[in-house]
Copies of this chain bind each other. A is one copy, B any other.
Amino acid sequence: MPTDIEIARQATLKPITEVAAKAGVPDEALIPYGKYKAKVDRDALPPASAPGKLILVTAINPTPAGEGKTTTSVGLSDALHRIGKKTLLCLREPSLGPCFGVKGGGAGGGKSQVMPMDEINLHFTGDFHAITSAHNLLSAMIDNHIYWGNSLEIDLRRVTWRRVLDMNDRALRQIVGPLGGVSNGFPRETGFDITVASEIMAILCLASDLDDLQKRLGDIIIGYRRDKSPVFCRDIKADPAMTVLLKDAIQPNLVQTLENNPAFLHGGPFANIAHGCNSVIATKTALVMADYVVTEAGFGADLGAEKFMDIKCRMAGLKPDAIVLVATVRSLKMNGGVPKSELTNGENVEAVRAGAVNLKRHIENVKKFGITPTIAINHFYLDTDAEIAVIKEMAEEFGAEAVICKHWADGGAGAEELAHIVAAKADAGAPDFAPLYPDDMPLADKIETVCREIYRAGSVTISSAVRKQLKQWEEMGYGKFPVCMAKTQYSFSTDPTKLGAPEDHEVTIREVRLSAGAGFVVAIAGDIMTMPGLPKVPSAEAIHLDENGQIEGLF
C-alpha cells in the first residue's frame, strides 16, 4: 500500500492562481507565497453573496492513531465538488515543533490530503512564526517594564504571561531568569509553552478583524499586582505593535487538495486549553465565497464539537447546518474493550457492537445542540462487511444515518454518498440549533452543565478556592464568557482508560485559568501539557533532504 508521501508525490499540483480562480478569489486578492500557497486579502474580495452552509466534521472518541477527521473533511469536500457543489474546506494549520518529535503531518492521508504537505508542515506562510514573535514581544516588554522601574507595580511572582517557541523543548518548561545581575533584570520563575498553546493563537482564531484582534490582544491579562488587581497587555502598550506583527497572519491561507480543490488552512489552537478550531476569519470568508463549507474541530465530539458550538459559533454568530460524526471499526472495537495491540487481529463484530455505546453517546450529545449527525464510517481495508453492517444498524437504532466512506483509498469518489446526504441535510438547515448553555449562566454552572450533559458525570467537584476565583472573575465582568474544558480526549470521563460510555463518574476541576483576550475561562480536569518533549529517538534524526532535494522522514 503506498504511503501518504508516495501518494502526495504522484499528485499534480495546480498553480495556486488556478486554485484561487476555482474558489472565486480574484487575482487582486491573491497574495502568493511560493507557487502553491497564498494568502487571501479579504478586503479585495468581491461583495458577499448569500452565505453558504456550514458543515462540521467531528468524531467519536479516537484511538491514539486518530480516526480521520481531517481525512474525512478533505474527502467530503472533494466529494461535494464532484457532485457539483461549490465548496470550500477550512482546516487548521499544523504545528512545526511536533513534526520533530513523534510524527509529522496534519494534512489528511491517503487520497484525501491537502498539499503541498511538506511546506504546510514546515514554515508554511509564517503565521505561527508571527504569533511567536508577537507573543515574545509582549514578554520582552513586560520584563523591560519591570527593568526600567516597574511603574505598573507588577508583582514579579504573579506574572502569568510566559514565552513561546514552536518547538518541543521540555528544558524550557520551567526556568529562572534573568540572572547575571543588574544589567539583565530581576530574576523570577517563568517558562516557555509551545506556540500553539499561546493565548494569541486562540485570539487570532476568534478575532473577527484586525480591530477586534487588537482589542483582544489589549485585553490579555499578563499578571497581577500585589493587591491581585490585573495588569493588561494594553497597560504595557504592546497591543498595537503585536497587531502589526500579526497583520499578515490574520489573512486566511489558500492551498489545494490532491484533487485540486481549494482549502483554507488557518490557525491551529490547542484543543485542550483552547478551542481547537480553525480561524473564524477563514470560516466566515469561506462562507461568503462558497455554497458549502466543510470544517473540523479537534479531538472527539465531547471536546471538539462542544467547543466549536459553545465557543466558536457563540462568539462568531455562526451555526452549523449539518454535522458529520466520524467513526471507525477500529475505534469502536477499542471502545468495545479490545486492547490496542489486538485492533487489527481480524473481524470482531461483537466488540464493534459493544463499542457502539460510544457512538450512541456522541449522537445523543450532538442532538442536544439541535442537530442529528450523519455518521461517516471511515473505511479501513481490514474492515469486514459484517463489522460495517453492525455500525449502520446501530446508528439507525440510535436515530442517525451511517454511510461508508472510502475517500482514503479513492479520494472524493469514495465519499460521494456522504456528500449527497450531507448536502441535503445542510440545505434543510438546523433551525433548532442552540448552544448548550446561555451566556448569563454563572461560570461554575456552565462547567457543571458541560460535565453533566456531555460527559455524563455523576458528580462535579469544584473546590471552594476555584469557586471563589470564578466568582471574582464574574465580578470583574468575565461572567458571560463560555468555558473551555481541558481533559483527556480518549474518554468521556477524565480517566483515559474508561472507554465506551462511562457515566456517573466524578469530574474534579483542579484549576481554572482566564483567557481574557481570547474570551473564555479554561477549566482543567486532567493533566495538560503546554510544552511537549521529544522522544528518545526523535523523528528529527530521520528528517533529511534526499539526493533530489526532496524532504524525507517528515511524514
Contact = CB atoms under 8 A, between A and B. Distances in A.
A173 B184 contact: yes
A272 interface: no
Q: Is the interface of A mostly helix, strand, loop or mixed?
A: mixed
Contact of A240 (B171, B177, B545): B545
A150 to B, nearest CB: 12
Contacts of A545: 210, 214, 240, 243-244, 247
A248 interface: yes
B179 A174 contact: yes
Given A210-B549, A240-B543, A147 B133 contact: no
A534 B139 CA distance: 12
A536 interface: yes
Contact of A540 (B32, B167, B238): B238
B248 A123 contact: yes
Interface of A: 31-35, 39, 96, 100, 122-123, 126, 129-130, 132-133, 136-137, 139-141, 143-144, 147-148, 163, 165-180, 183-185, 189, 191, 210, 214, 237-238, 240-241, 243-245, 247-248, 533-534, 536, 538, 540-541, 543-545, 549, 551, 553-554
B140 A171 contact: yes
A1 B311 CA distance: 52
Contacts of A126: 123, 126, 129
Nearest to A168: B140
B247 A549 contact: yes
A34 B245 CA distance: 16
A544 B244 contact: yes
A147 B169 CA distance: 11
Stoichiometry (number of copies): 2
A143 to B, nearest CB: 4
Contact of A244 (B133, B168, B554): B554
Centre residue among A96, A130, A178 by max chain B CB count within 10 A = A178
Given A123-B133, A141-B538, A177 B175 contact: yes
Centre residue among A34, A143, A177, A185 by max chain B CB count within 10 A = A177
Contacts of A533: 144, 147, 183
Contact of A180 (B136, B173, B247, B551): B173
Contacts of A248: 123
Given A34-B31, A126-B123, A144-B538, A543 B244 contact: yes
B123 A169 contact: no
25 contacts: A31-B35, A33-B33, A100-B140, A100-B141, A100-B241, A123-B126, A123-B130, A123-B245, A133-B167, A137-B167, A140-B167, A144-B170, A144-B538, A170-B184, A171-B178, A174-B177, A210-B549, A240-B545, A241-B540, A241-B541, A241-B553, A244-B543, A244-B551, A244-B554, A247-B549
Contacts of A173: 177-178, 180, 184
Contacts of A172: 163, 177-178
A177 B541 CA distance: 24
